């Protein structure tokens, strides 16, 4: 049998190639940069060629490295599917990379319906950063926020996200007036650090020129909404993220205006991955749920602010 390099070396190579950064790839794989570098070096020793140019601290694929990546990525995906087929009898599993806020607010409340339909299938939710870079080595599919499809991957938008403003009942009752979006000029407005453009899109779509008195950025969607529920300001957020806070009375919507978001949640996987039964089952169920959500949240045109 032909001698092969360790699987960990191939996994390290693919991660660094896709991230073009040893630091980011090491975070994805939960390895130290030095350990990851040793694995890449082991692969280079095995093939007898440099697979990366390391000038300036960046990792750029060499021509041999690019050819190797094109050959290795689909093989690792095939290997993952082969392993799925020999798991415990009658059981199937799937690992989905997902953002914590989406998992908490949207996916987990619905997951029992998937389990009822497929009782022998295990779905593991992976909330570690950068799931796209870990396809298909440590996650099988990913649900991420994006403004467009991802080149080279199967990409499908779940549903149109809508942007709303929410605040605590106490802030609405005792703070500066919040009768119309223009009143945000007298308030602290809070947005997600990775989606600061939502505030500008919101203000522009509603024709509001005055900027808020203060804009604060949060790294976590749940933390953003928690801060709003404590009266620290008005949060600009996706409508899919707020139902539990609204139903529990911890947040209210000071005005009904909504806008369509330029950023949405998308489902991503490798182009060939839908041939895997676990991925296909999860994909089909997920979009059934997304379609039902979209239909249940359709509002009359008069309550929507059209995109500019």
39 closest CA partner among 62, 65, 13, 57: 13
pLDDT attached to residue 308: 33
Structure tokens at 10: 């191939």
The per-residue pLDDT for 304 is: 33
> In the chain, what are the domains?
7-85 (1.10.10.10), 92-160+263-305 (3.40.190.10), 162-260 (3.40.190.10)
Q: In this predicted structure, what is the pLDDT of residue 87?
A: 54
Q: Where are the alpha helices (DSSP H) in the chain?
A: 7-19, 22-29, 33-47, 63-85, 100-102, 108-117, 169-174, 197-205, 221-229, 243-247, 277-296
- DSSP-derived letter for residue 89 is T
**Predicted pLDDT at 301:** 35
Helical (H) or strand (E) element with 242: none
What pLDDT, on the 0 to 100 scale, is given for residue 109? 93
Query: What would the pLDDT profile of 79-133 be if each residue is shown by its tens digit?
Result: 766 765 665 455 688 999 999 889 988 999 999 999 999 998 999 999 988 888 8
Instruction: Flag residues of the chain having pLDDT under 70.
Output: 1-2, 28, 30, 80-81, 83-91, 297-308
In this predicted structure, what is the pLDDT of residue 306? 32
* Residue 101: closest CA among 251, 238, 209: 238
């Amino acid at each position: 049998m032909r001698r092969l390099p360790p699987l960990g070396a191939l996994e390290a190579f693919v991660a660094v190639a896709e991230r073009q950064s040893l630091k980011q790839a090491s975070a994805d794989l939960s390895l130290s940069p030095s350990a990851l570098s040793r694995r890449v070096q082991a692969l280079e020793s095995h093939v007898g060629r440099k697979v990366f140019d390391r000038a300036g601290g960046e990792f750029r694929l060499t021509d041999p490295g690019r050819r190797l990546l094109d050959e290795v990525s689909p093989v690792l995906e095939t290997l993952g599917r082969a392993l799925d087929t020999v798991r415990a009898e009658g059981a199937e599993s799937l690992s989905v990379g997902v953002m914590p806020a989406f998992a908490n607010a949207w996916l987990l409340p619905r997951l029992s319906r998937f389990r009822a339909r497929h009782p022998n299938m295990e779905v593991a939710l992976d909330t570690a950063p950068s799931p796209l870079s870990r396809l298909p080595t440590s996650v099988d599919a990913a649900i991420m926020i994006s403004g467009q499809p991802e080149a080279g991957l199967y990409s499908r938008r779940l549903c149109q996200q809508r942007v709303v403003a929410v605040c605590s009942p106490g802030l609405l009752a005792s703070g500066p007036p919040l009768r119309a979006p223009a009143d945000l000029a007298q308030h602290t407005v809070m947005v997600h650090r990775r989606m600061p453009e939502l505030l500008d899109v919101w203000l522009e779509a509603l024709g509001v020129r005055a900027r808020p008195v203060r804009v604060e950025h949060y790294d976590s969607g749940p933390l953003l909404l928690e801060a709003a529920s404590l009266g620290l300001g008005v949060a600009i957020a996706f409508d899919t993220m707020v139902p539990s806070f609204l139903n529990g009375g911890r947040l209210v919507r000071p005005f009904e205006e909504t806008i369509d978001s330029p950023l949405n949640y998308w489902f991503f996987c490798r182009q060939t991955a839908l041939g895997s039964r676990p991925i296909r089952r999860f994909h089909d169920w997920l979009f059934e749920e997304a379609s039902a959500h979209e239909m249940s949240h359709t509002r009359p045109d008069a309550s929507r602010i059209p995109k500019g």
